[in-house]
A and B are shown apart, each in its own frame.
Chain A
Amino acid sequence: MVDPQIPESPRALPATEVLIGRIRWLVRLRWVAVAGSLLFIDLAGRFLPIRLEEPPLLIVLALLASYNLGAELLLARLRRDALARGNGDRGPEQVGRLAHLLLPKTPPGIEYYDRQAAQAAVLASVQIALDLCFLAGLLHFAGGVENPLWVFLVFHVIVASILLSTPATYGVATFGLVLMAVVALGESTGVLPHHSLEGYWLPGLYRDHALVGAQVFLLGVTLFTAAYLATSIAGRLRRREIDVVVLVHHLEKKAEHLEEAFQDVQAAERAKSHYMRKVAHELRVPLGTIKTALNVALRVAPGSMPQQTTDLIHRAERRAGELAEMTRELLSLSLAKRGEAVQEPVPVQLGEVAQAVMEEMDARAVDSGVALSKRIPETLPRISGSPEELADLLRNLVGNAIRYTPSGGSVELRMDVEGDEVMVEVEDTGIGIGEADLPRVFDEFYRSFQARQLVPGGSGLGLPIVKAVVERHGGRIVLESREGKGTCAKVWLPAH
């Protein structure tokens, strides 16, 4: 499915340039023809049993050479103009009707918009017409109808099919045929002098109208067949060219659509994240107040309420706390997943952040009966990023490790320099993650079977937050775990 309305990108110059390039090729070919003719005349005089009248032939060739010199000059000017036109970037100029008739069809979007194209078209047609006349002149002085080289007119037809439109090519074939007919008939009727190609035809045979007619007819058939074949091939090639241009355009359009779709997805992702953030905020405030209210109720409870009531309030308070924690994590995650780089990154001394996080975590470790230790070198390169997010990252890693390590186990936080990265490692002797769960633990809200067994409440957002923060800081994370043995999370962050 191709859009037939192909863009109006003003790629005028390439089409004109291609045309001018082909004319240059024609001019060069003509030099070869001049040289070839000279060589042929010389060789024919030496080795063929024919007699050529050299002086008029040489005069014609000299004229051909000087005409070609003129063509070179004209072409050079045309190229200069075309280049200036290309650089000048004036508005599109429509080529005239004549040029439209002469020029081959172009792929849509590649038009001969400028005057240089029209000039080139006229230049090419005039040259081909002149070439025909020169060939006719040469052949007239070299035997006229007797000369077998009339068939060379085929070359001009082929050249025309490459440079010009199909009608123009048939025009060239017709013009060539008319020229030969004029020469042959003129000579046979005595209007034109006959320069016999002695030794090739029997003398006087050029007056045989039937034979001459047959020759002209054969040439006509040859020329028109050539015109037909050459224009179909050229046409087919041009259609391929058009297909390619259309295809390229089509691909460009597709790429644009993809780009747009991608932008839409990103926008949707941002909107989702924003929504999540909003909801988390709105939930957090009342949840916090509920939890605090229940907490206060419990403080005043002793004695004033039955045990059953305080138990219920306890439960409600704990569940409100879980919810509050979950909204906090949702908020963290939505912030970390905004999909932008860290705003205003600052150099962060990760060791100090770790120190603060470890102090925070100490009480929890003691409560859980887990031995918490750290090995952090005195000096560590700084990391460029957000101290809050990096603290969140460490808090989640260490918090997870403590949460999923049964009493009596240990959790260690290690940091080190590895190349131009800071490596952070949190290793525990906890319950570990099953092989099947390992690839999924970074999925939002996913919790492994073991995790759900050990800790029923839990958001499943800790590791997704860690991953989002790591990614925002241009780092990477690897999780190694053996079920029942423990887990080791390794994070590498690029040093500042």
Chain B
Amino acid sequence: MSNGKKVLLVDDDRDLVDILTLVLEGAAYEVRRAYDGPEALATIERERPDLVILDVMMPEATEGFHVVWNLRRREEPYFRSVPIIMLTAIHRATPLRFYPDAGDGTYGAGEYLDVQGFVDKPVEPDALLKEMERVLAAARGP
């Protein structure tokens, strides 16, 4: 049973990946898994998922960000447009800047990493599913 959407889950916490796989498969998504940045990139190239759910991969590394930057710098439109949801609460807890330059030198609220959604950790399954639906709907576009 699949709703046709292929989702890649990336987190270095294997337990969490397993748990979320249960949730996503319960919601009829087709789930792929990866546990670090390089594996994630390889899987994205191979599987071309419709959505990537990406952990920032704390504590020290920001491997998740590098995955985003790596993808968005590529030529092929797919890599630049595949929707990404970041699993993190660090946009509140760390000084890493998630706020875009609004064009006038002002930083306001918003995401400056080119990702389409955020889900706070600890992950609430409902919140994740809701955010996934939102992002996928937006990706289908007008």
Contacts and interface: CB of A to CB of B under 8 A. Distances in A.
A321 B123 CA distance: 10
B105 interface: yes
Interface residues of A, number: 43
Does more than half of chain B's interface fall in helix, strand or loop, or is it mixed? loop
Contact of A328 (B89, B96, B106, B107): B89
B30 to A, nearest CB: 18
Contact of B107 (A281, A285, A387, A389): A387
B92 A395 contact: yes
B93 A349 contact: no
B4 interface: no
B93 A335 contact: yes
A282 B125 contact: no
Interface string A236-253: 000000000000000000
Interface stretch (A203-211, A288-296, A370-378): A288-296
Contacts of A343: 95
B10 to A, nearest CB: 14
Contacts of A95: none
B59 A278 contact: yes
Contacts of B47: none
B16 A289 contact: yes
Nearest to B105: A347
Contact of A331 (B23, B93, B102, B123): B93
Contacts of B125: 292, 295-296, 299
B41 interface: no
Given A343-B95, A346-B97, A382-B106, A288 B59 contact: no
Nearest to B95: A386
Interface in A290-345: 290-293, 295-296, 299-300, 320-321, 324, 328, 331-332, 335, 342-344
A101 interface: no
B109 A387 contact: yes
Contacts of A335: 93-95
A245 to B, nearest CB: 49
Contact of A356 (B15, B16, B109): B109
A284 interface: yes
B95 A388 contact: yes
Interface of A: 278, 281-282, 284-293, 295-296, 299-300, 320-321, 324, 328, 331-332, 335, 342-344, 346-349, 352-353, 355-356, 382, 386-389, 391-392, 395
